[in-house]
Amino acid sequence: MKQSLFTLEHARQLTADTYELVLSGDVSAITAPGQFVNVELPGRFLRRPISIANWTEDALLLIVRVVGEGTRELVRSVPGTELDTLSGLGNGFDLTACPENPILIGGGVGAAPLFGLAGRMREVGVTPTVALGFRTAADAFYLEEFARLGCHLFIATEDGSLGTKGFVTDLVKASPACTAAFVCGPTPMLKAVHALPQLKSGQYSFEARMACGFGACVGCTIQTTGGPRRVCKDGPVFQKEEIVW
């Protein structure tokens, strides 16, 4: 974990409640896709944890969904705003034994960390299948960006306004050759994906309410085969076989 100042360089609205932010600063503490940052906002007691969508040698890409006044203030920040940021938090996705035919599964804003993950996979010669689920076409984002990476991209929407009508699990079932999953999204989606017998292995990134973001308050604890573990400190990524629902 490293505390430093990041400067907001760019903000772009992607959907009604989702924004792309680019922050420049010291990214040396970031080591894996799936990690997150904890951003301090003036006048707010708690920092805001946000998944890292991607990073370069001197900048962060964040995709932020507005869920309250804190995140609303963040996305309304003007370029040049300096943000006190804890970076390199959490344990991300492990690519040391990346399978040949992985499937990346995202629900809603859970698609964000999968973008950086897909990019890292492409750098090592792996072309992932990417299955993303949204409520409607209006909620979908970063489809062109994933496509430009050369991924095999499939979309599902609950109302059928884009791609397959249904849920992201329907896309997984339609890709039977994919048996190793990298997953991020709301807990009900994670549980549904975890139950699919097709997926023999996987890494699951949990979304959780975090107070401290570095393991002190144990407010984001989940149950695993090894006992209670903290999403912020021990995760947010956990192996399929250790998750207990």
Q: What's the pLDDT score for residue 219?
A: 76
Q: List, as one string, the DSSP characters of 11-25.
A: EEE-SSSEEEEEEES
- The kind and range of the H/E element at 222 are strand 221-224
What's the CA gap between 233 and 184, in Å, rounded?
Answer: 17
Q: State how far the Cα of 134 lies from the Cα of 82, in Å rounded to an integer.
A: 32
Beta pairing class for 180-185 and 102-107: parallel
Residue 194: CB atoms within 10 Å? 15
Long-range contacts of 93-98 (CB under 8 A, 24+ apart): 93/32, 93/33, 93/34, 93/117, 93/182, 93/203, 93/205, 93/237, 94/32, 94/203, 94/237, 95/32, 95/33, 95/120, 95/121, 95/124, 98/124, 98/126
Which tens digit of pLDDT belongs to each residue from 77-100? 999 999 999 999 999 999 987 888
Burial of 144 (0-12, 13-18, 19+ CB in 10 A): exposed
pLDDT in tens, 164-207: 999 999 999 999 999 999 999 999 999 999 999 999 999 999 98
- Whose tokens are 């690519």? That residue is 95
Structure tokens that stand for 195 in this block: 């139950």
Judged against a pLDDT cut of 70, whether residue 211 lies above it is answered with: no
Q: Is the pLDDT of residue 44 over 90?
A: no
Confidence of residue 46 (pLDDT cuts 50, 70, 90): confident
Structure tokens at 173: 């079932």
